[in-house]
Amino acid sequence: MYLQVKDVKKSYGKDTSYVQVLKGISTGLERGQMCVIQGTSGSGKSTLLNCIGGLDTMDSGSITVDGKEIFGLKPAALSDYRRDNLGFIFQFYNLVPNLTVRENIQICQHIAEHPLDMDELLETLGLTEHQNKFPAQLSGGQQQRTAIARALIKNPKLLLCDEPTGALDSKTSRDILILLEEINAKYGTTMLIVTHNNSIKNMVHKVIIIKDGLVKKEYMNETRVPAAELEDL
């Protein structure tokens, strides 16, 4: 299994402010699969994503990605893990405002060992004609495409997406999901998508539902619907 999560626990605070967010999460994902994590606010889904991404430490348990255990890694080794394996897409685009689209993407291109071809990626994401614009000159969808390109230029094995369509209207959300679907098919990128949107689960290979810090249900989706046909986005 490409991603293996075993009995992961995570808490914040102490004494009266102590909160256990993850109470023993166990799940996994095969290489090349698209997976949705769903749950109400506070259920622990973003915390789990951050632990997998090495952005947050866990109290106990095990997370292995492509056979590499990340629990207990020191900061420098975690940084290498993120650089070599992961791409991140968030609800808020976090683009550098005084850099062009191309320059924003180059930030991650320069740290990648085997980056994708810049011009091909710009073409795939429909950004070729916008590559010399600054973020303030772009629509929300174009900014999110730029953020996706920045994550993908590294040619990551695992793409972690936290509410990637949360700030977008329904049409733009569909366009972004179609792009993610095409990227998964073209590059074989494994994807883990945290979302509140109940429709997105219909397009992925696997669904994980988290409640109160535990996996309530997980299942393989045998009747996948193409992103272009999703309703109620």
Report the alpha-carbon distance of residue 201 to residue 84 in Å, rounded: 28
| 38 pLDDT above the threshold of 90 | yes
| 26 pLDDT above the threshold of 90 | yes
- Pairing type for strands 34-38 and 60-65 reads unpaired
Give the per-residue pLDDT at 168: 83
| 233 pLDDT above the threshold of 80 | no
Report the alpha-carbon distance of residue 182 to residue 179 in Å, rounded: 5
Phi, psi of 232 (to 5 degrees): 60, 40
Q: How would you classify residue 122: left for phi > 0, otherwise alpha for psi between -120 and 50, otherwise beta?
A: alpha
Mean pLDDT over 51-63 rounds to: 94
Residue 144 near residue 168, CB atoms below 8 Å: yes
- What does the mean pLDDT of the chain come to? 92
Residue 83 near residue 111, CB atoms below 8 Å: yes
Is residue 77 very low, low, confident or very high in pLDDT (cuts 50, 70, 90)? very high
Mean pLDDT over 34-40 rounds to: 95
**Is the pLDDT higher at 155 or at 129?**
129
Mean pLDDT over 92-108 rounds to: 93
Q: What is the pTM of this model?
A: 0.90
Q: Which residue has the tokens 């900061």?
A: 75
Give the per-residue pLDDT at 88: 93
Give the per-residue pLDDT at 164: 86
**Which residues, in sequence order, are CB contacts of 25 under 8 Å at separation 6+?**
5, 7, 8, 9, 44, 48, 61, 210, 213, 214, 215
Domains of the chain by start residue, with CATH: 3-229 (3.40.50.300)
Q: Which residue has the tokens 């949360």?
A: 166
Give the per-residue pLDDT at 41: 87
For residue 141, give the nearest of 164, 158, 123, 119 by alpha carbon. Answer: 164
**Is the pLDDT higher at 171 or at 233?**
171
Report the alpha-carbon distance of residue 98 to residue 214 in Å, rounded: 42
Give the per-residue pLDDT at 165: 86
